[in-house]
Amino acid sequence: MEAGLGVVLLIRDRHRGLALSEFGRRVLEPARRILNGVSHIEQEVLSVRGLESGTLRAGSFPSAAVRMLPKIMSAFSRLHPNIEIVLFEGSDQEVLAWLDSRAIDVGVIAQSAVGPGMTLLAKDKMVAILPQDRAQRYGPVVTVATLDGQPFIMSSGGCEPLIRELFAHAGCAPAVRFAVHDTETILNMVREGLGITVMPEMALPDRLPDVVVKALEPDSWRYLGLRSSSDEVTPSVRAFVALAQSLFSPAEGDTTSGVNGPPVPRLSQKVD
């Protein structure tokens, strides 16, 4: 391609490996749009001919990759065995960046409200995580205002904006003592009395260390859903989103309403 264009796209270094040239960085996004457009046309042609093939690139943050995506991917692969799914796992911010750059076709995103272009799948409740010796200071429900001034362990894996927004609504701010990416590390630090934290229920492991999980007041949720990288989605992305909606349908008897109107399932775990 470089020979045909007469320009340098890649810088080759024996020690640093390959890197994009300045020109390569400028044309990367247009090139991605062209390749995505060609892939879209190919999938549309195959769809008209009754055939299915191609690759679907899906992105997700870790807790959704564990709790939601395996079920969707397994069902999709059974229905569409000739479409390969490539999974990209990263933080909330990385997934959004991948969508904006079209590095992925569809991504699981988490937001404090349902935004434009988001297909809502579920609600995930925010909870307080406390050391056992401090949990007795609180009742069965922890008001956010009572956490003001307490040493706080902030999750740097993507939930920080939601947590700060939650505290701001209560008229205070978390007294961040540590910022940690890994959930297991955060929980073990809470167990050792280094601070308290707030995180989504879905992020909690099935087996918790010796910590206490309590509901927050007022209730706070993050909304989980899918967003595509373009308004012109491919047939495979349309099928993936439709299947995800069918799999994560409202739980029986759940009257919780989503922002868009219809009820949505609550991804919950037992809370003290």
**In which band, very low, low, confident or very high, does the pLDDT at 128 lie, cut at 50, 70 and 90?**
very high
What tokens does 118 get?
A: 């988001």
Q: Supply the pTM of this predicted model.
A: 0.70
**Residue in 207, 122, 125 with CA at minimum distance from that of residue 166:** 125
Distance CA 226, CA 42 (A): 23
Quick: pLDDT tens for 206-227.
Answer: 888 899 999 999 888 999 999 9
Q: Which CATH class is domain 125-221?
A: alpha beta
Percent of the chain, pLDDT > 90? Answer: 44
Instruction: Check if 34-121+224-267 and 125-221 are the same fold.
Output: yes
Q: What is the pLDDT of residue 255?
A: 34
Higher pLDDT, 250 or 103: 103
Greater confidence (1 vs 269) lies with 1
pLDDT value, residue 1: 64
pLDDT reading at 240 higher than 90: yes
Q: What is the mean pLDDT of the chain?
A: 81
pLDDT tens-place string over residues 137-186: 888 899 999 999 999 999 987 789 899 999 999 999 999 999 998 899 99
Q: What pLDDT does residue 2 have?
A: 60
The domain segmentation of the chain, as residue ranges, is 34-121+224-267, 125-221
Does 241 have pLDDT greater than 60?
Answer: yes
- The reported pLDDT for the residue numbered 262 is 37
Contact 86, 58 (CB under 8 A): yes
What's the average model confidence in pLDDT over 55-83?
A: 91
pLDDT (mean) for 6-23:
69
* Cβ partners under 8 Å of residue 41, min gap 6: none
Answer with the residue of higher pLDDT: 251 or 160: 160
Please give the span between the terminal C-alpha atoms of the chain, in angstroms, as a whole number: 61
**34-121+224-267: CATH number:** 3.40.190.10
Cα–Cα dist 217/214, whole Å? 10
